[in-house]
Amino acid sequence: MKNLGPFSTYKPEKDTPEAALAENSNILFIKDNDGNEWYDVQRRFNEKTLKVVFDKSGVIYSASYDASSLWPVNAYVAEVSVDDIPDLFPLPIQGLDWQFNGTKIVPRTYTVEQLKTQAQRDKDILLNQAAKEIAPLKDAVDLNIATPDEQERLKTWMIYRVLLSRLDPGTTPDIDWPQPPQ
């Protein structure tokens, strides 16, 4: 089967069973630009192929061997044979690290801007984690109740936080991330 989509919601024609369902329940109906209705399309998929849901740039955000478990609103669907699925491809999908290139699943290619954004996000997460470690140690020092071990741990966490703060996400992917204290 060819790639289908993008699918979008539509209101079924009046006086049809679908219209009654849509009116009397929370059931939505979707079809693609060629008029392929999602509920009808599902029956035409091969049970042995993986079905992937992806956006216009090919980023996969859902996949299943069971088409009825997918909901491709504003997305495309393709069947992928077992031979075109990488060994490391995770099911269920975890993150947005894979793309469909029109014929097979490949690792996602990120733009420089996306890599910078990810690096900034990672830096912020690590800085927050460091702050959580530092806060009680700093309190102990400020209250003059810190053990020598706590004083040393505070120093190593503070050094780590300073090293993190000096990192420039714009230098991705060549960032030399400091290792957190153990």
β partners of residue 98: 107
User: Which residues is 105 bridged to in the sheet?
Assistant: 100
Task: Quick: pLDDT tens for 125-155.
Answer: 999 999 999 999 999 999 999 999 999 999 9
CA within 13 Å, CB half, 6: 10
Q: What does the pLDDT look like over 79-106, one tens digit per residue?
A: 998 888 999 999 988 888 999 998 889 9
φ, ψ of residue 111 in degrees (nearest 5): -75, 165
pTM over 0.85: no
Structure tokens at 178: 């400091």
